[in-house]
């Protein structure tokens, strides 16, 4: 494999290759145990004002931020995280090389050539990380809430300040469009700050229970209930949001008084390492935060079954089911994908529906757990809707992420092959192709499949790519039945002008969230986010995550005699 033009780090140029293990999972797109890398000097066009908007980092033409300018503003701060051509792992407040002498390579999805390398950590190094985390957590739990929040706010500011080099990692490692990469980093900083503020509120309140509220008791017992840390939280984010879905686990864990061990996805590890360095620069205690990289086959099970882990927060695919069976008696927070259905009624605003289908189904090439993954449309309006969606798909820009294309390469060749398998099956079984199927390497052009039937794989399986099936239905009940027959239950959406029908359909859909007249979405980040059935365990969202990463402790005061306040 040939190397890419090497990234510019500090004062040196670096060549960094990459390899990705074949994924044994049925859907390789959803494998979370991968890892990531750094950036090249090609970065970006972003106006500072627009980048601060976490919802839309709209990029004004003519505004260009060169990587050289970012470096003058502090980009050299990342020099210490790399040794030669291999990025280090983070343990006990230091950036270290693994004693294994081995590395894991990361492939650029666009060029399909080696881009970066990360350390292949050993099980012994994982043991040392866990020991340090346990010791650091004890001291951190005694740190006042306001001081924990203060450090999180500092980390958030540093993260947003260095959005350019981190975003460049996302562009090169996971082919995320440049403007979306910046938006992810800025959104992540906002999430960390919000978590700091919410944590002070949620954890700063205890609860007082009086014994006489239960029948047969006098008021002679006062119960003081408070929330205390779990201990060491293991966080495993997915490749598609390796920064945002990492900090959504890191920040709640830290504000709650826990230590945090991060195992980043391989395809996405270097962006995560840069993010972790922002927490390092903020001044968190040594050992409290760690980031270990390596092959899932060597340290994946070892991490998730480690006796030092007191909680696991995982986002990914089938791997999560295996983790849940091996983890033992510890709290689990898992989001494992979805087959999010879009039910379209006859009275729906079809222009609104078409816009949301294209945005919800094809943004980031459909590589989102909350992407629209099947359209269930009433037969009477199906032709009109398909025509409108096709018109919008024709306007999407297909190409490399550096050019802010709407459709960029999917993350790995195995992912592209999986998607192609679904397309081939649909073709063999008679689906209508609204566009010609086109693929170059990992780049797949957007494709709408009409007249899909339940006997086709694409009707049930999660493609995690820019291919969307349309199933024509004759009744609302048929649409609800198809939605609920799925083994997934993450999100869904319904489009209608009748709010009464919308509420009844939403209640009938067996999903963790139902969007009314909008595409599925994760966020804003403080909203509850959860899946039913095979889509996950527990609930995310900032407040829910803080609560999940704590446990309740009760202290009971026993009085010698009943005591009542007389006013």
DSSP state for residue 365 in the 8-state scheme: G
Rounded CA-CA distance 435/79 in Å is 47
Distance between CA 292 and CA 303 in Å, rounded?
10
- Give ∠ CA 397-401-407 in degrees, rounded to 5: 35
The DSSP letter of residue 239 is: S
450 secondary structure, DSSP code: E
CB 253 within 8 A of CB 239: no
Report the C-alpha gap between 25 and 27 in whole angstroms.
5
Has 168 been annotated as catalytic?
no
Cα–Cα dist 16/42, whole Å: 16
Are the beta carbons of 465 and 366 closer than 8 angstroms? Answer: yes
Residue where the block lists tokens 């969007």: 515
Could you tell me which residues come within 8 angstroms of residue 397 by beta carbon, excluding any fewer than 6 positions away?
Answer: 403, 404, 405, 406, 407
CA–centroid distance for 59 within its chain:
23
Q: What is the C-alpha separation between 135 and 146, in angstroms, rounded? A: 21
CA dist 567 and 538 (Å) reads 43
Nearest to 258 by CA among 290, 288, 226: 288
Q: How far is C-alpha 88 from the chain's CA centre?
A: 23
Residues 6+ apart with CB under 8 A from 510: 483, 484, 489, 532, 533
Cα 190 to Cα 54, 133, 157, 327, distances in angstroms: 7, 26, 9, 31
d(CA 511, CA 491): 5
Strands 491-495 and 513-516: parallel
**Dihedral angle over CA of 521, 330, 285, 139, nearest 10:** 140
Q: Given 92, 168, 173, 335, which residue is catalytic?
A: 335
Q: CA-to-CA distance for 538 and 551, rounded, in angstroms?
A: 15
Place of tokens 């879905």: 245
Cβ–Cβ under 8 Å, residues 488 and 337: yes
Catalytic residues: 335
């Amino acid at each position: 494999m040939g190397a890419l033009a090497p990234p510019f780090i500090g004062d040196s140029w670096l060549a960094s290759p990459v390899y990705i293990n074949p994924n044994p999972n049925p859907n390789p797109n959803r494998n979370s145990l991968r890892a990531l890398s750094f950036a090249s000097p090609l970065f970006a066009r972003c106006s500072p004002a627009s980048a601060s908007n976490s919802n839309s980092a709209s990029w004004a033409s003519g505004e260009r931020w060169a990587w050289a300018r970012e470096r003058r503003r502090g980009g050299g701060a990342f020099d210490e995280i790399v040794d030669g051509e291999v990025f280090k792992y983070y343990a006990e407040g230091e950036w270290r090389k693994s004693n294994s002498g081995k590395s894991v390579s990361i492939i650029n999805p666009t060029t399909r050539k080696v881009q970066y390398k990360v350390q292949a950590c050993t099980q012994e190094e994982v043991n040392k990380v866990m020991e340090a985390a346990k010791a650091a957590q004890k001291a951190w739990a005694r740190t006042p809430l306001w001081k924990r929040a203060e450090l999180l706010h500092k980390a958030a500011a540093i993260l947003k300040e260095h959005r350019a080099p981190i975003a460049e990692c996302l562009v090169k490692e996971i082919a995320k469009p440049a403007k979306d990469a910046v938006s992810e980093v800025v959104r992540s900083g906002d999430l960390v700050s919000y978590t700091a503020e919410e944590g002070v509120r949620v954890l700063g309140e205890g609860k007082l229970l009086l014994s006489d509220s239960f029948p047969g008791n006098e008021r002679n017992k006062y119960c003081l209930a408070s929330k205390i840390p779990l201990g060491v939280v293991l966080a495993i984010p997915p490749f598609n949001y390796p920064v945002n879905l990492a900090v959504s686990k890191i920040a709640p864990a830290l504000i709650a008084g826990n230590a945090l061990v991060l195992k980043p996805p391989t395809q996405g590890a270097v962006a995560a390492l840069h993010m972790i360095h922002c927490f390092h620069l903020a001044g968190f205690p040594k050992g409290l935060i760690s980031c270990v990289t390596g092959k899932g086959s060597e340290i994946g099970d070892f991490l998730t079954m480690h006796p030092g882990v007191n909680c696991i927060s995982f986002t990914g695919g089938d791997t999560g089911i295996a983790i849940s069976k091996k983890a033992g008696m510890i709290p689990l927070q898992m989001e494992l994908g979805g087959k999010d259905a879009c039910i379209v009624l006859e009275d729906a605003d079809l222009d609104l529906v078409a816009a949301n289908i294209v945005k919800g189904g094809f943004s980031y090439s459909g590589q989102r757990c909350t992407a629209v993954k099947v359209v269930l449309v009433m037969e009477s309006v199906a032709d009109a809707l398909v025509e409108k969606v096709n018109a919008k798909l024709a306007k999407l820009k297909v190409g490399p992420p550096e050019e802010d294309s709407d459709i960029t390469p999917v993350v790995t060749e195995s992912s592209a092959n999986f998607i192609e398998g679904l397309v081939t099956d649909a073709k063999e079984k008679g689906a209508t192709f609204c566009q010609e199927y086109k693929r170059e390497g990992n780049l797949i052009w957007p494709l709408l499949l009409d007249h899909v039937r339940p006997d086709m794989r694409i009707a049930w399986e999660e493609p995690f790519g820019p291919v969307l099936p349309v199933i024509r239905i004759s009744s609302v009940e048929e649409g609800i039945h198809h939605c609920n027959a799925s083994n997934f239950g993450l999100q869904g959406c319904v489009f209608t002008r009748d709010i009464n029908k919308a509420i009844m359909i939403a209640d009938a859909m067996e999903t963790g969230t139902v969007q009314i007249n909008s595409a599925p979405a994760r966020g804003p980040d403080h909203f509850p986010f959860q899946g039913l059935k095979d889509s996950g365990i527990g609930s995310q969202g900032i407040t829910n995550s803080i609560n999940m990463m704590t446990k309740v402790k009760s202290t009971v005061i026993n009085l010698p005699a009943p005591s009542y306040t007389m006013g």
